[in-house]
Amino acid sequence: MPYILIDALNQFPAIFKNCGVKELLCPLCLRDGLQIKLVDSLKWRNGNSNRIQLRLLHCVDSPILLASKLYNCENGHRCNNACDPDIVKQIPDCLGCFITSHKSGVTKNFLSLCEQLLDKFMSFDGIEELHFERYEITYKSMKDRFLTNSRYRFPPSEAITVPSLGQLYWSFAGSNLISSAIMSNFRRDEDRYRGLFSSLTAQWLSCDHTYKSVANIGYRRACDGKWFQQYTALFVIVNEREQPLQWKFTKTENLAKSPTPFCCKWASTWVWNKPKLTVEQISK
């Protein structure tokens, strides 16, 4: 199984300086309002005990084991995990190849694939099914290679057994983990997105509703698995270059009941204040 070794203190010190990061801070101290730097404990989270098991990351074709360094801090906190989300946030984004949750995580390659599939309006259930199929293909390929190589290493009379996919304890990324990773990735870049929206200009505005984008926003009832969609549409405002300037989830198509910035209810006011700006609504 592939694996990743992460030791940010010793792997990226020169790059940290170029990115303006002087030191990594203890996340436990940060929660108390203190800025205490982390120091190397010279120990790894290597699976030698139940307390320091390797973390399982979900990737496109197979899971990946994440072995991380353990850090102490000068304030007495021990065994800070190098893949702790509050430590990973301090690492420049260009150096991180995964997003971690409390117990597991996903690689950015897998997250990018999920976002592309969601953009193509695939449901979370469809992504889970596709993920399982990709793991099955990888398992069958590994099994075939093992059996082929075993013919040259073991006598023909010796029986060769191969564990099933279920016996390998390969878990699969569910919709909760995928959505959590997407939200975590968005929050990390939220200020950049808002700054980008604020910097865009417009000669005219176009307002419209889109519906497929909200199909995956909701919740699944635990008792019977029924899916409840939370919103009806996504209201989007774009400029003449079709760049999004503002958006809002709505539970109705009636703009009067779902006030949004610059919507047609205030179109006359907006044009009066900005006589050179044309506001139009496109109906589908």
Which pair of tokens denotes residue 219?
């919740």
Residue 270's pLDDT is 46
Confidence of residue 166 (pLDDT cuts 50, 70, 90): confident
Which pair of tokens denotes residue 259?
């006030």
Question: pLDDT tens for residues 104-135?
Answer: 889 999 999 998 998 888 888 889 889 999 99
pTM of the model: 0.68
Per-residue pLDDT for 70 more than 60?
Answer: yes
Measured CA to CA, the distance from residue 109 to residue 2 in angstroms comes to: 14
Measured CA to CA, the distance from residue 163 to residue 176 in angstroms comes to: 28
Confidence of residue 55 (pLDDT cuts 50, 70, 90): confident
Which pair of tokens denotes residue 5?
């070794």
Measured CA to CA, the distance from residue 194 to residue 245 in angstroms comes to: 9
- Report the b/e string of 1-16 with b at 16+ CB within 10 A: eeebebebbeebeeeb
CB atoms within 10 A of CB 69: 23
Q: Looking at per-residue confidence, does 23 or 250 come out higher?
A: 250
Question: pLDDT tens for residues 270-280?
Answer: 444 444 544 44
Measured CA to CA, the distance from residue 73 to residue 80 in angstroms comes to: 8
Contact 35, 25 (CB under 8 A): yes
Per-residue pLDDT for 15 more than 70?
Answer: no
Contact 283, 264 (CB under 8 A): no
Confidence of residue 51 (pLDDT cuts 50, 70, 90): low
Residue 110's pLDDT is 93
